[in-house]
Amino acid sequence: MEFSSFLTSLGTSFIIFIILMLLFTWLSAKRGNAVVYYPNRILKGLEPWEGGLKTRNPLAWIREALSSTEQDIINLSGIDTAVYFVFLGTVLGILVLSGVVLLLVLLPTASTDDEVKKNAKSTTSKGTFNDLDKLSMANIEERSPRLWAFLIAVYWVSLVTYVLSWKAYKRVSALRATALMSPEVKPEQFAVLVRDLPDVTPGQTRKEQVDSYFKSIYPDTFYRSLVVTNNKKVDKIWAELEGYRKKLARTEAIYEESIRKGNSEGKRPTNKTGFLGLCGKQVDSIEYYNEKIKKMTQKLEAEQKVTLREKQLGAALVFFTDRVTAALAAQSLHAQMVDKWTVTDAPEPRQLIWTNLTIKFFVRIVRQYMVYVLVFLTIVFYMIPIGFISAITTLENLRKLLPFLKPIVDQVQIKTVLEAYLPQLALIIFLALLPMFLLFLSKIEGIPSGSHVIRAASGKYFYFSVLNVFIGVTIGGTLFDTLKSVEEEPNSLVPLLAKSLPGNATFFITFVALKFFVGYGLELSRIVPLIIYHLRRKYLCKSEAEIREAWFPGDISYATRVPSDMLIITIVLCYSVIAPVIIPFGVLYFALGWLVLRNQALKVYVPSYESYGRMWPHMHTRIMGALLLYQVTMLGYFGVIQFYYTPILIPAPILSLLFYYVCRRKFYNAFCHTALEVASQELKETPNMELIFRSYIPPSLIPEKQEDEQFEGALSRVSRTGTFV
């Protein structure tokens, strides 16, 4: 395939993006689609279209995204989303500042040499794009003085990364501190999570044990505790009750619809009481569900009392009347033994994973290491199919394996697109199968909060992506040739692997292009959610709750989005000096991502949690990991091309490790805990401790009768005199 075909393929991707953008402009202007394209604004009581629908034009969303401020993002999507845009802006700045020098210096340096003509085997694109090879290190003669420019460029990219990531860390730290110093009352700032409770003494309940322990340590600020209970049975009853309520709402909506259609009395819906409603007695649905709800409510109330009194477990949430004490308690050692009275910051109420709270200290450690082993095995064994896919999903191999496709794939236009994008599409589809598995593994570690699970899964996905996509695909792309060479000359394995990395520059350029043109085009147009919403509304939804569930967008999905971005920055950094033409594609990916996701954050996605920027240390660590891999890659590549001054690059990875260590020592602790100077800021009103406490009660334990002041057992209050009521 010639270079012109490569450009044709990129042009095709660009055209697809333009079509999807125009589709978005047309579809988002229709009032019936507002809940798909503007759910965040609608849920906050704002008008979907800024300035009115009639003033809309195809580029209005771009103007609105560019004119939005960081405070707009915080107001509509929270601190975590604002931090994500700090990440996107930082990476974009790294690539732009690096690219200015690398493109202006390295491209002329490479293009004016003639190594490609002298040596046909010298390539960064497997010989497919000779014009591209002339713009890369493949066109530089071995041991040439021109290599000095490329060596210095490695340090330039590193310096830019250090400076911008340092500034970003300071910025995110300030955002987090400002949010935590807010005079608004946040329930999680008045609570701590206590795990690994010791065995209770005879004659004492778990609730009395917790209350007396913290009352003795914090006599003036201890408010109340909530002992974690075994909610398995009560959750099941509550879920069944909620199911009947949804069915009742749906049935009533159907009945009201029959009245609106002209029948003054309407047609009362009926159903059979047997298996799946297919057999049994025919009954009036509204009466039947009302009766079921009445019975289930009584059953729920009885089970709630039993659960709170008799099913108390070895963990609790403890509440204090001021947030300084809560912050202090979360950072203090409460017992001499590490596996007793473990106190940590309490997550948001909506983040708690109740089933993980009672897992014991050493069990959590064992689970953690078991998950690490499973992840390692997954990475190793996933390399086999991914390497195999990258080896066979070439047009040449597919024509051999599936000869009946020859008439189709031999057409010029189809052949051009398939040659450029077939392996990348296969890889993207294959990777889409992984995130749910990694989320499951992270959850079974015993992590107590949803945001922490997402961070853990994101880290696993990043390592998987780098090792399998960046390294696995690189090796797999030359798998068949490499195996033959190694068989003939076993000692050639290391240099062969080193040389195979730059040989995949074109693959990764097209991979990045596919991700930002087609990926962000689909993200903006929301074609799939739109189709699903209209199908569900037409055929499945009857009640307002069902309709809302059909269009509710969810959050921005950091568990997959952040690792995907990290993979791109890893690829672009590692090829930035070898083939600088990849930098504009990286810039386009993050610039377009910033623009499209800015629109989505302001109008579409609804955050499912707020961790006040706790994802940032994870992001910074992976940026440093990408930089370190880049530096090691360049060190190895310069060694392969036998440049005498390669040892000059040895300090680069050492400097990166040192920089990372300094950043972690300076900033990281403030992300693990709330600084006392932050927690000591005054609130604008006295916190309602009862509301704070009730926000943590699991839905299945919330009393049906709101006039009930409190439950006994696990939710009982300790009075200021030390008695239990």
Q: Which distant-in-sequence residues (6+ apart) come within 8 Å of 719 by Cβ?
A: 725
Give dist(CA 31, CA 614) in Å, integer.
37
SS3 at position 224: strand
Given a cut of 70, the residues of the chain with pLDDT beneath it are 1-9, 50-56, 113-136, 138, 262-265, 276-277, 383-431, 471-507, 705-725
Give dist(CA 227, CA 318) in Å, integer.
8
Tell me whether residue 665 is exposed, middle or buried, using C-beta atoms within 10 angstroms of its C-beta: 0 to 12, 13 to 18, 19 or more: exposed
| The pair of three-digit structure tokens given for residue 214, joined into one six-digit string | 């913290």
The pLDDT of residue 430 = 66
Closest CA to 93 of 580, 578, 594: 594
SS3 at position 195: strand
The pLDDT of residue 474 = 63
For residue 668, list its beta bridge partners: none
Q: Which distant-in-sequence residues (6+ apart) come within 8 Å of 655 by Cβ?
A: 158, 162
Place of tokens 């040659």: 419
User: CB of 467 within 8 A of CB of 375?
Assistant: no
Q: Which distant-in-sequence residues (6+ apart) come within 8 Å of 102 by Cβ?
A: 153, 156, 157, 576, 577, 580, 583
User: CB of 193 within 8 A of CB of 343?
Assistant: yes
Give the H or E element holding residue 194.
strand 191-195
The pLDDT of residue 484 = 52
The pLDDT of residue 400 = 59
Give dist(CA 16, CA 21) in Å, integer.
9
Give dist(CA 613, CA 287) in Å, integer.
49
Give the H or E element holding residue 580.
none
Tell me whether residue 362 is exposed, middle or buried, using C-beta atoms within 10 angstroms of its C-beta: 0 to 12, 13 to 18, 19 or more: exposed
DSSP sequence for 444-458? TTT--BHHHHHHHHH
Residue 55 corresponds to which amino acid? T
Report helix, strand and coil shares of the chain as percent, to nearest 5.
70, 5, 25
Give dist(CA 423, CA 514) in Å, integer.
11
The pLDDT of residue 519 = 83
Place of tokens 């990219």: 157
Residue 443 corresponds to which amino acid? K
Over 334-374, what HEC string results?
Answer: CCCCCCCCEEEECCCHHHECHHHCCCCHHHHHHHHHHHHHH
Give dist(CA 228, CA 313) in Å, integer.
6
Give dist(CA 307, CA 318) in Å, integer.
19
CA atoms within 13 A on the CB side of 349: 15
The pLDDT of residue 351 = 92
What are the angstrom distances between the C-alpha of 597 and each of 51, 85, 177, 428, 432? 21, 9, 25, 20, 20
Give dist(CA 72, CA 538) in Å, integer.
35
pLDDT in tens, 652-668: 999 999 999 999 999 99
Closest CA to 446 of 308, 562, 315, 560: 315
User: CB of 158 within 8 A of CB of 655?
Assistant: yes
Domain ranges of the chain: 1-182+492-643, 197-346
The pLDDT of residue 665 = 94
Instruction: Give the number of other Cβ atoms within 10 Å of residue 31's Cβ.
Output: 9
Place of tokens 């568990």: 559
The separation between CA 284 and the C-alpha centre of its own chain, rounded to angstroms, equals 46
Q: What are the φ and ψ backbone dihedral angles of 64, each rounded to 5 degrees?
A: -65, -40
